[in-house]
């Protein structure tokens, strides 16, 4: 059984800019996979290569065994991409847009039941006859997701799908996407909302400056960087020098420290007492994917 996505030694130059530096990545069929990284890490470049909008300088990419460059039509048929930008045709209503999109991939009226399912699942049924120009930003975002699904691709790439949308839409979207994944669709997600990736995705790749710097299951990443966080509100607003190496972040009088083990908490409290620093508030929490992300990117 071929992998949903197979990327081998992909490099991409834009002039002198080396945007992707030898990416190797395999995503199996049925995975819910997160592709994470800061702005400029190469995530969108990689997605554009998969979609055939760019060509790699070197290396190969395939979708379900079909080479993106050599067998473009078949590879593109198997892939649905939801871009970050709100790009739409202003002359069609929602249903017309979806029918046209499906038609580009050879699907006719027999595809209408699937379009109805998409509209219902994304809360767009009552907007099916509305012109795209009249929709709110959140509704346009839903319509773009529907458009990517219109030809029923087995592999779906979501590039920041919940950026700027409200909580209700986010929850509705993820319920529908999780159903697609349960039905066998492979989902690839990029997001800056790391709690989404932690909750939804079974495996994570982290990109930094065009390279994969971490690739593992979400659970194993969290276990490997299983430091606890200690959040302290201190009076006066200062941290003893001996505790500075543990400092992860500071927001005015609130200090967040990294604890390698729970027993280290006793030493922190003793040091604060010795220096006459009062603790106004204290909170200990387990590491989450955001902590892992920050630590890996600062290595």
pLDDT digits (tens, 9 = 90+) for 100-126: 999 989 888 889 999 999 999 888 999
CATH (domain of 209): 3.40.50.300
Residue 79 vs residue 293, higher pLDDT: 79
The count of other CB atoms within 10 Å of the CB of residue 113 is 9
Whether residue 240 is found in the same domain as residue 274: yes
Write out the E strands in 167-246. 186-190, 203-208, 211-217, 228-235
Look at residue 163 in the predicted model and tell me its pLDDT.
Answer: 72
The reply to whether 141 falls in a domain is no
- Residue 49 contacts residue 61 (beta carbons within 8 Å): yes
Domain that holds residue 54: 1-78+155-160+189-224
Whether residue 198 is found in the same domain as residue 252: no
pLDDT tens digits for range 193-212: 888 888 899 999 999 999 99
- Residue 127 contacts residue 94 (beta carbons within 8 Å): yes
Whether residue 262 is found in the same domain as residue 274: yes
The reply to whether 21 falls in a domain is yes
Whether residue 31 is found in the same domain as residue 15: yes
Whether residue 1 is found in the same domain as residue 73: yes
* Neighbour order of strands in the sheet with 254-259: 247-251, 254-259, 228-235, 278-285
Token pair recorded at residue 87: 């790009």
Whether residue 5 is found in the same domain as residue 68: yes
- Residue 220 contacts residue 212 (beta carbons within 8 Å): no
Residue 57 vs residue 230, higher pLDDT: 57
- Which is it for strands 203-208 and 32-36: parallel, antiparallel or unpaired? parallel
Q: How many CA atoms lie within 13 A of 280 on its CB side?
A: 9
**Domain edge (last residue) among 201, 224, 247:** 224
Give per-residue burial for 138-165: e unless 16+ CB within 10 Å, then b: bbbbbbbbbbbbbbbbbbbbbbbbbeeb
Q: How far is it, in rounded angstroms, from Cα 264 to Cα 142?
A: 47
3-state SS, residue 118 = helix
Residue 164 vs residue 258, higher pLDDT: 258
Look at residue 128 in the predicted model and tell me its pLDDT.
Answer: 92
Whether residue 4 is found in the same domain as residue 68: yes
Res 226 pLDDT > 60:
no
């Amino acid at each position: 059984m071929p992998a949903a996505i197979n990327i081998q030694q992909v490099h991409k130059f834009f002039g002198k800019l080396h945007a992707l530096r030898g990416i190797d990545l395999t995503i199996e069929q049925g995975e819910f996979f997160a592709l994470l990284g800061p702005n400029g890490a190469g995530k969108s470049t990689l997605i554009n290569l998969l979609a055939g909008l760019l060509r790699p300088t070197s290396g190969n990419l395939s979708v379900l065994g079909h080479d993106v460059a050599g067998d473009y039509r078949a590879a593109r048929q198997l892939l649905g991409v939801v871009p970050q930008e709100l790009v739409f045709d202003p002359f069609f209503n929602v249903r017309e847009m979806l029918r046209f999109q499906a038609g580009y991939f050879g699907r006719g009226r027999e595809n209408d039941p699937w379009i109805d399912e998409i509209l219902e699942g994304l809360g767009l049924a009552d907007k099916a006859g509305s012109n795209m120009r009249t929709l709110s930003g959140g509704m346009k975002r839903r319509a773009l997701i529907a458009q990517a699904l219109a030809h029923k691709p087995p592999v779906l790439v979501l590039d920041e799908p919940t950026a700027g949308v409200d909580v209700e839409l986010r929850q509705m979207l993820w319920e529908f996407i999780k159903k697609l994944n349960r039905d066998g669709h492979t989902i690839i997600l990029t997001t800056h909302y790391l709690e989404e990736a932690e909750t939804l995705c079974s495996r994570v790749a982290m990109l930094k400056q065009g390279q994969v710097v971490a690739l593992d299951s979400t659970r194993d990443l969290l276990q490997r960087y299983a430091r606890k966080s200690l959040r302290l509100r201190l009076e006066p607003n200062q941290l003893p020098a001996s505790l500075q190496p543990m400092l992860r972040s500071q927001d005015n009088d609130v200090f967040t420290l990294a604890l390698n083990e729970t027993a280290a908490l006793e030493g922190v409290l003793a040091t604060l007492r010795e220096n006459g620093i009062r603790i106004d508030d204290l909170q200990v929490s387990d590491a989450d994917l955001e902590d892992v992300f920050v630590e890996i990117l600062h290595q």
